[in-house]
Structure 1
Amino acid sequence: MIRLTLWGEMFDKVTQRLVCQIDPDGDLIAVSSLIDSEKLQPLAVVMNRPSRWFWQTTKYRPTGFTLNQLLQGEYIQPELDQKELVMYQKTHQGSVSGSLEAGGSALSVSVGGSGGSALSSSLGTLHEETVNVFKLIEDSKQRKVDFHHPLLKQMLDTFKQKWEFTVVTTRVFNTSESKIKYSSIMEGSSGITPQLVENIKTKVSGNVHSDTNCVMKIPANTVMAYNVSGLDIKSDGQYEFILRGFICGKQSHQAYPLSGVKTELEEVKSLLCVLDGLSHQSRSPLLLQLRQILLDREHLSVLEDRLEELVYDDAPSLYHSSCSHSPHQIIDTFLDLLIQSDTTSETSLSTESTNPGASMRLSKQNQSVLVAMYNLVSAAMGLTDDGLLLLADICSSQELKSLNDLVTLLTHHSQPLLLTHLPAPLQSEDLLRRVEQLFSSSNVVLKTEDGKLWAVIRRKFERLPFILCLVIHGLAYLSEKQQ
């Protein structure tokens, strides 16, 4: 199970980076798993769940069916155009180190560690295959879907407001067997210090060493990325394709102040401020766990999905703790902490049993905490891999408070700030350098000159600066309150 999970993470990371390299501003969707790859034939039906907020990425879920299987009458034979796209080889190396302490009067937790990893992919020659959409539209005239098909019955009757139909019109795939290699070495330590009696403490600690080497072989004709066209199904069974328009023009290189995100940021911050109402005993362990999750995008994605299920699914609002052998045990632990979190004003849940792992019915207060955490996690998913690593390295309570204060200053003032007016920790050259790298990962340039600092966005309609500011605010709500 662990090896399968690792292979899934390797494949997902490679396809994500591939898309960033070959189509950074386009519409290609990275394939997240080999199982999904097998389903992505030309005209394959993919369900699309639109984002709830403009900063979120749209979710796509391949179904295993093709458009032809949903149609009445004869199959449509798509006209395909194939061309050589690129020869792709890439090695990504990273390292991380740091420590974090959190806790309160009853419990103190600390972790520290360092390590490095390398992910190399040799995908060979990649080809792009495109459906002639205009011929497809012509062949689809007067054609109808079969409403008795199980997929249509399920999706239209049960999930009409949640999912939309799309079909695959572009695929990027390898033409020969490919390899992905991953290696990592991690060293770490952890300690838990319960304060049993005043001035008397006991400590439980441990050291961790992890050495991983893995090679993954990918067969030829594996789909790495794809694009879709929307499918608008009418009440009489006829359908139309929704084509995305493209606006051509020169990209402006003018710089824009970070204060331009202030209005939208203030509106969305109100969704996260409920996290500030959690008790200190709840916030500290949550921040500690979330910091670890930020280091692994696959874990972050799983957490986003699990929170979305708890918050938005139509099922009764019940939470069940997962089994201890779950491959995502860190996610289960985090959700257990979140569900059982206390607020400063009231107890946030009621239990039908005192047994650990029992079903817990969520209160309105706890539901609002879940909504806030879902928005924080989904925003974090929009950051780059480098941004997540850099942010996880600035997660102590004091650093987060300083970082949050800096974002507030920069988004409320378009003019340069005096360096002497920055929060005291940021007057350290080391921390300011790391903060500059963090902002740069989200296309924000921090400029210093003549004892002054200001921030500019490289492109006017960039999402990343807004997302970064939002995540910083959310994490700061989880940090220790400063007196």
Structure 2
Amino acid sequence: MFATATRNFVEEVDYGGLLIPVSSLNETIDVLTVVVKRKRFWFWQKPKYLPTDFYFNDILAGDDPIKPDTKETDFITYNGTYGDNIQGTLDANFVNSSVSLEGKDSSKLQSSFGSLKKEEVNVQKLLKDSKGRVLDMSHCLIQQTKEKRRRIFGIVKERIVTTTPCSVIEEVQQGGRCGAGLSLCGPKIPKVSLKENGSLSQDSNVTMEIPINTTIAYSIIELEIKQDGCYELCLMSDTTGGFEIDGSTKNGPFGVSEGLGHASENSCLQQDLEQLNGHFQLLSSLPVTTRSSLLQQFTNVMQDRAAVSALQNMLDQMCLDKTPALGDVTITVSQKQNIQAILELVEQSGQVESAQTGQSTSVLTALHLIISALDEMTNDCLTLFGMCCSHTVLQTMEQLVQSMSGMGALPLSSAGLAALTGDVYEKAEHLFAFSNVSLKRDGDTVKTEINQEPGNLPLVLCIAVRGLASLAL
């Protein structure tokens, strides 16, 4: 709940920038706090940031601490409300019976952070004070971090802080009704009507009081660390830090995630998707009942940003051969059930041989690919995509994303674009726009054009659409 509120805040005020949302109230973050940046499994994923209990002076050699010169300025006054409403009904009539189902789900998250201030370090003075200083390479934090791949040290250079007590309020309403009727009629038998009605509702209203001087977002300066403890501050946003290994820095094999190399330009989109094609083929080869169940559960999870992140973390742990702890996740009971159903299907599916490579591939990895893409989407994109998860619309979306990596244009007469009319086209247009892609009609064709914006949102959209479309075959 707090993590969702801070993520919404950063997405609104600094999307694509340097601010990092704080994920837990239990994290104490001050200027010069040491933060470990961990690269993720897929190169297009945003890294994870793990604040430590140490300050920069704690890992410096020598007894002369660096005293940062800090400046405080007013930032903004922030109050945000996010919510959605989902409602559905199902009626079925048979010869002698009828069944009706009705469900309603609504949620609202209100973040009242109030007036915020920004505290930032004078980087020029920090650079001057760092001249001639070295790190204590025998420090346990450095030793433990250095042993793990894809880990980078950073120190907090600025933070966004609350100036008054504030709150985060989450309201959830879930309700359902089931009705059934059975009628027996005969020529000499009086009509008998049996009715059974049941209803279930669950409401929750949680208020989280945020104390004064709480950090809700921050940014860091990464460190490039030599074997002898000498270090350099990475002052440019496009430079990354790392540990020197055997005379060379980690910026080569360790500066990017394992697996695919970084590529976000239009010319490389097709190549990236081709390398992932085995995962999509694997999913499409699963039994129909398994695919149908997975698609339904994924669609349910997509209704809640916190549930998407929770499932991503669960599959992250499983990819690292760790046992995920679903009980520690703060999401609704129904979403926990959706996630548990997905985890059980993952365990049942195990390894499947890829038709493309002939090699045994994990269903876990394929589903981790999809949920990781969904977790990278913006809030607006995720909400809109959740409305496009019917079989026909997903097949249409898949045709459109394939055109992004090809000629960029498709005739509207194509069989796969039959559903691209009216409301569906409008949703697709907005969905693509949220992913930095323009979707336009031009006569009897529809064209896609990738906007030259930083980031990997076009690729993320392609992966999410193709992944779910593989389950909808």
TM over 0.5: yes
Which residue number corresponds to residue 383 of structure 2? 389
What's the secondary structure of 2:66's corresponding residue? coil
Which residue number corresponds to residue 134 of structure 1? 124
2:213 and 2:103 mapped to 1: Cα distance? 40
1:225 aligns with 2:217: yes
TM-score of the superposed pair, with normalisation by structure 2: 0.77
Which residue number corresponds to residue 358 of structure 1? none
What's the secondary structure of 1:412's corresponding residue? coil
Which residue number corresponds to residue 361 of structure 1? none
1:94 aligns with 2:84: yes
Q: Summarize the Cα distance change of 1:412–1:126 in structure 2 as closer, same or farther, 3 Å threshold.
A: same
Which residue number corresponds to residue 55 of structure 1? 44
Q: Summarize the Cα distance change of 1:455–1:258 in structure 2 as closer, same or farther, 3 Å threshold.
A: farther
Equivalent runs, 1:345-384 vs 2, <5 Å: 365=360, 368-384=362-378
The answer to whether the 8 A contact 2:404-2:450 is kept is: no
TM-fit CA distance, 1:421 = 2.4
C-alpha deviations, 1:298-327, integer Å up to 9, x for none? 22223222322332x3xxx5x757677975
The answer to whether the 8 A contact 1:289-1:334 is kept is: yes
TM-fit CA distance, 1:276 = 2.2
1:143 aligns with 2:136: no
Equivalent runs, 1:42-441 vs 2, <5 Å: 42-72=31-61, 73-97=63-87, 113-157=103-147, 159=148, 161-188=149-176, 208-245=200-237, 261-311=269-319, 313=320, 317=321, 328=336, 330-341=338-349, 365=360, 368-415=362-409, 417-421=410-414, 423=416, 425-441=418-434
Cα RMSD for the two superposed structures: 3.3
TM-fit CA distance, 1:430 = 3.1
AA aligned opposite 1:77 = K
What's the secondary structure of 2:349's corresponding residue? coil
C-alpha deviations, 1:201-224, integer Å up to 9, x for none? xxxx98643323232221111111
Gaps of at least 5 residues in structure 2 are: 91-99, 180-196, 240-264, 331-335
The answer to whether the 8 A contact 2:404-2:449 is kept is: no
Q: Summarize the Cα distance change of 1:368–1:402 in structure 2 as closer, same or farther, 3 Å threshold.
A: same
Q: Summarize the Cα distance change of 1:476–1:323 in structure 2 as closer, same or farther, 3 Å threshold.
A: closer
2:112 and 2:365 mapped to 1: Cα distance? 41
1:476 and 1:59 mapped to 2: Cα distance? 28
Equivalent runs, 1:457-472 vs 2, <5 Å: 457-472=450-465
TM-fit CA distance, 1:457 = 3.2
The answer to whether the 8 A contact 2:137-2:228 is kept is: no
The answer to whether the 8 A contact 1:277-1:343 is kept is: no
What's the secondary structure of 2:108's corresponding residue? strand
The answer to whether the 8 A contact 1:177-1:217 is kept is: yes
1:477 and 1:207 mapped to 2: Cα distance? 35
1:120 and 1:395 mapped to 2: Cα distance? 27
Number of aligned residues: 413
Which residue number corresponds to residue 29 of structure 1? 20
2:271 and 2:171 mapped to 1: Cα distance? 44
The answer to whether the 8 A contact 2:284-2:471 is kept is: yes
C-alpha deviations, 1:446-473, integer Å up to 9, x for none? 2235444222334344522221111100
TM-score of the superposed pair, with normalisation by structure 1: 0.76
AA aligned opposite 1:341 = S
TM-fit CA distance, 1:173 = 0.8
TM-fit CA distance, 1:90 = 2.2
The answer to whether the 8 A contact 1:176-1:221 is kept is: yes
1:344 and 1:111 mapped to 2: Cα distance? 36
Q: Summarize the Cα distance change of 1:470–1:325 in structure 2 as closer, same or farther, 3 Å threshold.
A: closer
1:213 and 1:407 mapped to 2: Cα distance? 40
The answer to whether the 8 A contact 1:123-1:174 is kept is: yes
Which residue number corresponds to residue 447 of structure 1? 440
C-alpha deviations, 1:391-422, integer Å up to 9, x for none? 2222233332232233224542334x333325
Q: Summarize the Cα distance change of 1:50–1:323 in structure 2 as closer, same or farther, 3 Å threshold.
A: closer
TM-fit CA distance, 1:265 = 2.8
The answer to whether the 8 A contact 2:412-2:445 is kept is: yes
Which residue number corresponds to residue 360 of structure 1? none
The answer to whether the 8 A contact 1:273-1:474 is kept is: no
1:155 and 1:344 mapped to 2: Cα distance? 35
What's the secondary structure of 1:426's corresponding residue? coil
1:112 and 1:431 mapped to 2: Cα distance? 24
1:162 and 1:462 mapped to 2: Cα distance? 20
1:34 and 1:259 mapped to 2: Cα distance? 42
TM-fit CA distance, 1:443 = 3.0
TM-fit CA distance, 1:49 = 0.8
TM-fit CA distance, 1:59 = 0.8
2:139 and 2:398 mapped to 1: Cα distance? 52
TM-fit CA distance, 1:279 = 2.2
C-alpha deviations, 1:223-266, integer Å up to 9, x for none? 1110001122322223222222479xxxxxxxxx9888334333
C-alpha deviations, 1:154-197, integer Å up to 9, x for none? 2223x1x1311111111011111112223233334799xxxxxx
AA aligned opposite 1:234 = K
Gaps of at least 5 residues in structure 1 are: 1-8, 101-109, 192-204, 248-256, 347-363
Which residue number corresponds to residue 254 of structure 1? none
> Which structure is larger by alpha-carbon Rg, 1 or 2?
2
AA aligned opposite 1:154 = Q
1:387 and 1:226 mapped to 2: Cα distance? 24
The answer to whether the 8 A contact 1:262-1:412 is kept is: yes
